Amino acid sequence: MTDTASVWGRDDVSSGKGASDENFPVGSILLSKALRPHVHAYYDYARVIDDIADCETLSADEKIARLDAMEEVLLGKREPITRADALSAAKLRASLLKTGVPFETATDLLVAFRDDSRGTPCTSWDDLVQYCRYSANPVGRFLLHLHGEVPETFAASDALCTSLQILNHLQDCQKDLQRLNRCYMPEDLMAQAGATQDDLLAGRASPNLRRVFNTLLDKVDALNREAATLPGLVRGRRFRMECAAIVGLAHRLTQRLRREDPLAGRVALKRTDIMYAAGAALRAWS
């Protein structure tokens, strides 16, 4: 086991991000009030491990040591130290034990964040999908398990979560490269379009880079079509409304990224998009 002092060393690894920075609601009012504390426990844990992987003052080895320690606390292999990150893992452990949600929904996230910490390159669309399998899809599966939904919902949920993750990568493509030296634009698609990572640092997308964005959005459209089946598969009425709203928001954000340039400014959801999603949720009530 790694020495405790070297693992937990520095206190501040926060990226400054919180629930208000998310495109999509965290533990929204559409979710059962009884389940919201479990959703927030999962979100707090996910935010901490994301912050560790994104921390600019930790080395790759330090990040991985911190992530490994989080996993040990989560799995009950070490006692938590009085720190926000260790305590978030201990809190989620208690939640998972109480609800019976599989621990893989939490440990799978660590696979992606270890890759981020190592700087693992994204060489192809398949690499990107594989990354999303661990960075995003566990979130949907956590919620499905928490609500007692059936395995038939998993594929549509995975499609939705992968779509949301790729949309987020497109929104933040410039910032990720500038701040973290990280690029999720598949290298083979960039090469085919004649684009380079330097294009991501410009004030506007070049025609070559726009082709990469459009190719990714074409693939996201296919994911969104599969994701659109999710509300019809979900049995719980409130959760079905939540899923319908998020599917609607993914669709609207995809449209915005078609029309707007993420290099010229952050492409974000607007009030009209929220209203559209609210209408989708209401239609899913019946």
Number of domains the chain is built from: 2
CA–CA dist 256, 139 (Å, integer): 24
Q: Which residue carries 């340039």 as its tokens?
A: 261
Residues 85-101, buried b or exposed e (16+ Cβ, 10 A)? bbbbbbbbbebbeeeeb
- pLDDT of 1 reads 35
CA–CA dist 2, 17 (Å, integer): 28
- Residue 270 belongs to domain with CATH number: 1.10.600.10
Q: What is the mean pLDDT of residues 209-233?
A: 98
> For residue 82, what pLDDT band results from cuts at 50, 70 and 90?
low
Within 10 A of 154 (CB to CB), how many other CB atoms are there? 17
CA–CA dist 5, 8 (Å, integer): 6
φ, ψ dihedrals at 253, nearest 5°: -70, -35
Work out the mean pLDDT of the chain and round it to a whole number.
Answer: 90
Question: Is 41 within the bounds of a domain?
Answer: yes
- pLDDT of 257 reads 98
> For residue 10, what pLDDT band results from cuts at 50, 70 and 90?
very low
Residues 92, 184: one domain? Answer: no
pLDDT in tens, 136-155: 999 999 999 999 999 999 99
Tell me the two tokens of residue 223: 């994911």
Domain with 88 in it: 32-103
Judging by beta carbons within 10 Å of its beta carbon (0-12, 13-18, 19+), is residue 5 exposed, middle or buried? exposed
Residues 37, 171: one domain? Answer: no
- pLDDT of 24 reads 60
- pLDDT of 261 reads 98
Residues 156, 200: one domain? Answer: yes
Residues 181, 87: one domain? Answer: no
Question: Is 111 within the bounds of a domain?
Answer: no
The pTM of the full predicted model, rounded to 2 decimals, is 0.91
- pLDDT of 86 reads 86
Question: Is 270 within the bounds of a domain?
Answer: yes
